[in-house]
Amino acid sequence: MRRWASWLALCWMLCGLAAASPAPPDPAPAAASGPEILVMLHLPAPHLRADGYSGAGYRDDAGRQARQRIAAALAREHGMRLLEDWPMPALNVDCYRMRLAAGQDAAAVIAALARDRRVAWAQAIQEFTLQSGTGPAGDPLYRVQPAAAPWQLLQLRKTVTGRKVLVAVVDSGVDASHPDLAGQVALQENFVDGQSYVAEEHGTAVAGVIAARADNGIGIAGVAPEARLMALRACWQVDGATRCNSFTLAKALNYALQHHAQVINLSLSGPQDRLLQQLVAAAQARGIRVVGAIDPQRSDGGFPANSPGVFAVAADDAPAAAGLALLAPGRDIPTTMPGARWGLVSGSSYAAAHITGMLALLGQLKPQLAGAQLREGIVRSSGRAPLTGVDLCATIMRITGKCSCACPNPTDNLARTP
């Protein structure tokens, strides 16, 4: 009888534990799908997190379970379905993805959640697009790189290569097995829901511009060929376009912060987004350089390029953006393509990748330089290299006092960036 009583007590205890830890809800059927939103719940202050909570390892601790119960209650109260959650310790919040019922007014639900003291904030999930122009074209192996001669990349490699600078490429999938990228990818993660990591054109092309291997007898050489890449797949290729959203991008940015990226490349654009804006600001507060591609279809350049402190970049054939952004090569750029191929690409995405490579070089030379000083040190070309917008050799000489290429006097006919 005592043994039977013990078993009965154990069963009651296990049932109680199961009730305290609700299973993750199933996705809503497609036919009943409404819009999706993100709901942020406050985390305790870092010094109060006795369970070792962090974004790198999302532990199944009591605090997390309590926040899950709050999120589940909010979903029930507002007729939503809880789909997924993700830690954002850089912002001191947990992020919950929820789907509204068909016909629900997302703005009304978000407004109601904003009045709830349990909620840090709520927002819509927004879409972002990558800033490529024309797609791959021309011969698979094209040896002429527009930045190679004006930026004197061959001469610069004698003294600076971006060695060990960690660059986060938040993009579509990168082909880490490409002959020009083999060994260049230090970390590879997938943040796209319901899909496995796949190599895609945009991410692979951006990665090649930044850090393709040099002196290997094939293909191209990246601007910073010894930088280390974090290939963070937050975007996906569909119907000839490449798209991302607030949640996938936020997860990738949070990962980049948690894993000590030194430069973050965002060759994409979209509307203002509170969650992403705060993550970009958190990155800048840690000294991380953030690069964004100008969207020529948006009067303000689009987010993140229009955010304070972001290195906004436009293609050098877009003079209308000259006063708003750095200019870099953005047309007919030879670069890496999935499947051991090379091709030509165009768009501000690839101009941004050039500036990311430049920042990796400067990160090797002056890793502790404040962002404002770095921005002040960038030199625009004026006549001598009209197709690149930035004079890389003069910039290195101004910032470091040294240059391994044929550097002009940085004060002659050159203008500082605004």
Active site (catalytic) residues: 171, 202, 349
**Cα-flanking dihedrals φ and ψ of residue 94, to 5°?**
-100, 140
Per DSSP bridges, beta strands 341-345 and 333-337 are: antiparallel
3-state DSSP helix/strand/coil percent for the chain, to nearest 5? 30, 25, 45
**Residue 94: exposure state from Cβ atoms within 10 A (0-12, 13-18, ≥19):** buried
Instruction: Find out whether the peptide bond into 27 is cis, omega within 30 degrees of 0.
Output: no
Strand, helix or coil for residue 247: helix
Strand, helix or coil for residue 56: coil
- Smallest Cα–Cα separation from 351: which of 296, 396, 306, 401? 296
Residues in CB range of 26: below 8 A, 6 or more apart? none
Cβ–Cβ < 8 Å for 353, 384 = no
The CA distance from 246 to 87, in Å, is 14
The total of other beta-carbon atoms located within 10 Å of residue 249's CB is 25
Per DSSP bridges, beta strands 166-171 and 263-266 are: parallel
**Residue 387: exposure state from Cβ atoms within 10 A (0-12, 13-18, ≥19):** middle
Segments in 21-147 forming alpha helices (H): 62-77, 106-114
